[in-house]
Amino acid sequence: MVMEAKATIESSESKRWVIGITGASGAVYGVTLCRQLLAAGFHPHLVITDAGWRVLKEELGWDAAHRLDCLNNAFEFAVAEGRMTYHPLNDIGASIASGSFRCEGMVVMPCSMGSLAAIAAGASTNLLTRSADVMLKEGRPLLLVPRETPLHAIHLENMLKLSRLGVRLIPAMPAFYNGPQSIEDIVSFMVGKVMDSMGIQHNIYKRWGQPNE
């Protein structure tokens, strides 16, 4: 019985991913990733910066004054039903702020240059950057999806520093060999590339050499 309980706990922990959404353009990327994780049976732990909420409002029409309502509407009541956990940005005592919280890793999608710089500097000024710092210190996967152009030397130096620390950098650079017909196709490609790096099986974009259906 003890062994069965332990196995159940470990299985549950392997289904957790921390997902961060920051103030870079492309909030739909993070939202779509969360939807795909939920559909695949994972439990996302979501944290959104204040600037991230501003972008969600500007790009997706979310009402930042009613955050839980927005999340439940976007994710089919996953928060209310306990299939997703939302952590307020300033809740520095949240579970994901501790190295004792077991999870598979963390994805920040999209990742602003400001958040990327804070992570590179080890500046745990809010729950998102603290969670990223936890991933680094615990040796867990940390994937960042920067969305900025053009890039200057500080941006590039910060990304090089993080890459040398083992962080996976997946810039929001969609491909066109798969013949995208809509914004949704472009978003699906980027989310699929991230899920590839997360080690999660999916079929949400057409791969190179895959025949047309």
199 has binding-site annotation: no
DSSP class of residue 104 equals S
Question: Is there a binding annotation on residue 114?
Answer: yes
User: Is 30 annotated among the ligand-binding residues?
Assistant: no
**99 labelled as ligand-binding?**
no
**Strands (DSSP E) along the chain, which ranges?**
16-21, 43-48, 85-86, 106-111, 142-146, 168-169
177 is in an annotated binding site: yes
- The 3-state secondary structure of 13-72, one letter per residue: HCCEEEEEECCCCCHHHHHHHHHHHHHCCCEEEEEECHHHHHHHHHHHCCCHHHHHHHHH
Q: Is 113 annotated as a binding residue?
A: yes
112 assigned ligand-binding residue:
yes
The verdict on whether residue 147 carries a ligand-binding annotation is yes
Residue 131: half-sphere exposure toward Cβ, Cα within 13 Å: 35
3 is in an annotated binding site: no
Token pair 């190295």 is found at 99
Q: How far is CA 7 from the centre of its chain?
A: 26
- Residue 171: cis peptide before it, omega within 30 degrees of 0: no
The answer to the question of whether 95 is labelled as a binding residue is no
Looking at residue 201, its amino acid is Q
CA distance 76 to 35: 9
SS3 (DSSP) at 145: strand
131 assigned binding-site residue: no
Residues forming the annotated binding site for FMN?
23-25, 49, 112-115, 147
Q: Which residues contribute to the annotated binding site?
A: 23-25, 49, 112-115, 147, 177, 193
Binding site per annotation, positions for dimethylallyl phosphate: 177, 193
